[in-house]
């Protein structure tokens, strides 16, 4: 009888201490111990925290929160705590653009000047596709902001900064260089083509469709981040809140807040083609090609890497007070996300270590 009970238990979906297992070989207790050990630097008193979730075959097989969302109020992190995603935002911006292309409202091969007719002549060959894949050659706007600046910049300011330079890093389509400018301009293109504010378009056409009820492209004074995690940095005297920088108001490259539970809904929607046809989703998760035929390790809003022999999309997000990473293994139907609200640490290392538990 005891053997029978152990068998039944191993085949059930078990919930214990924030862990949800779905017919996986590791026991719930061992799983918790393994991931707690990986996350031990966040699992301590009075420290900025982290939120972790693992999705397997559309089921949450692990979720747990660690540390504080706000040191000043001793508010603990929950798996529903919303973190600034930083550059993980780019996959949402890319999806918005592709949705508009699917609706016939733009082409990925439209020139930048289609949307900004007076853009400097050095950018006349840049296309939407170049912006999506970081092959535009546009100077990163962050390098043009004076160190002394304290006033936040917005997506429209990023466009204006492009008028202050007279050349590209390289001719469009000939090289890859990560540039936040492209995604700020993509957010402006979403607005021009849709006739809606970027934040409103994202809510109506992505967040609401997926069921991401608290995810938001945050605009100070306009929207609110509920269950918000605040960014922190370590000083000689301890942790302090360092939540905003001069670039934190730019939406297209890093302005979305979300939580691990709603990010699970997001990835499940991508797997199940709730937003985009399968062929288009595969394109977003495929290497872009330079003019000379060279493949690059970036798709539309996603880095692409080979890990333990598995080719898969992933992306990090790093901004003042936050470090995040998301890994997706489409063939294995596995997603790992680690969101943290501190100015240090390596979430990519943590996410890979957690993925290893499930890829054995």
* Strand intervals (E) in the chain: 13-16, 19-22, 50-56, 59-66, 68-70, 75-76, 83-84, 216-217, 232-235, 238-241, 256-258, 303-307, 310-319, 322-329, 334-340
Mean pLDDT for the chain overall? 93
Which domains are seen in the chain, by residue range?
Answer: 2-359 (3.40.710.10)
pLDDT at residue 298 in the model: 99
Give me the mean pLDDT over the 244-270 stretch. Answer: 98
pLDDT at residue 11 in the model: 36
**pLDDT 10s digits, 288-316:** 999 999 999 999 999 999 999 999 999 99
Q: Which of 2-16, 52-66, 199-213 has the lowest mean pLDDT?
A: 2-16
pLDDT at residue 16 in the model: 36
- Using a 10 angstrom Cβ sphere, with 0-12 exposed, 13-18 middle and 19 or more buried, the burial of residue 40 is exposed
Q: Using the predicted structure, report yes or no on whether residue 212 has a pLDDT greater than 60.
A: yes
Give me the mean pLDDT over the 91-118 stretch. Answer: 99
pLDDT at residue 29 in the model: 83
pLDDT at residue 360 in the model: 81
Instruction: Specify the pTM.
Output: 0.93
Select the more confidently predicted residue: 31 or 21.
31
pLDDT at residue 25 in the model: 63
Give me the mean pLDDT over the 106-113 stretch. Answer: 98
pLDDT at residue 345 in the model: 96
């Amino acid at each position: 009888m005891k053997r029978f009970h152990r068998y039944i238990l191993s085949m059930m979906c078990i919930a214990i201490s924030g862990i949800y297992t779905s017919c996986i070989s590791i026991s719930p207790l061992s799983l918790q111990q393994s991931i707690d050990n990986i996350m031990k630097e966040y699992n301590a008193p009075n420290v900025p925290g982290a939120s972790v979730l693992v999705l397997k075959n559309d089921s949450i097989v692990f979720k747990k929160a660690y540390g504080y969302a706000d040191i000043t109020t001793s508010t603990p992190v929950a798996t529903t705590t919303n973190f600034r995603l930083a550059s993980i935002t780019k996959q949402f911006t890319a999806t918005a653009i592709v949705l508009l292309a699917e609706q016939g409202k733009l082409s990925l091969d439209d020139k930048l000047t289609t949307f900004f007719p007076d853009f400097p002549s050095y950018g006349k060959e840049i296309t939407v596709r170049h912006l999506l894949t970081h092959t535009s050659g546009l100077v990163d706007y962050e390098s043009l902001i004076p160190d002394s600046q304290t006033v936040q910049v917005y997506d429209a300011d990023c466009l204006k900064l492009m008028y202050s330079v007279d050349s590209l890093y390289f001719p469009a389509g000939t090289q890859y260089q990560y540039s936040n400018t492209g995604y700020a301009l993509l957010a402006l293109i979403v607005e021009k083509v849709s006739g809606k504010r970027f934040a409103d378009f994202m809510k109506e056409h992505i967040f609401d469709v997926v069921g991401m009820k608290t995810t938001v492209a945050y605009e100070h004074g306009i929207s609110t981040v509920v269950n918000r995690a605040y960014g922190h940095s370590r000083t000689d005297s301890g942790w302090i809140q360092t939540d905003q920088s001069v670039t934190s108001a730019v939406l297209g490259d890093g302005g979305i807040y979300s939580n691990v539970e709603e990010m699970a809904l997001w990835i499940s929607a991508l797997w199940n083609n709730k937003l985009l046809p399968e062929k288009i989703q595969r394109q977003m998760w495929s290497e872009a090609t330079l003019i000379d035929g060279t493949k690059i390790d970036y798709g539309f809003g996603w880095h692409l890497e080979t890990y333990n022999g598995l080719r898969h999309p992933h992306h990090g997000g790093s901004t003042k007070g936050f470090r995040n990473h998301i890994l997706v293994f489409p063939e294995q139907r596995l997603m790992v996300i680690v969101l943290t609200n501190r100015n240090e640490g390596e979430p990519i290392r943590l996410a890979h270590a957690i993925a290893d538990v499930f890829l054995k």
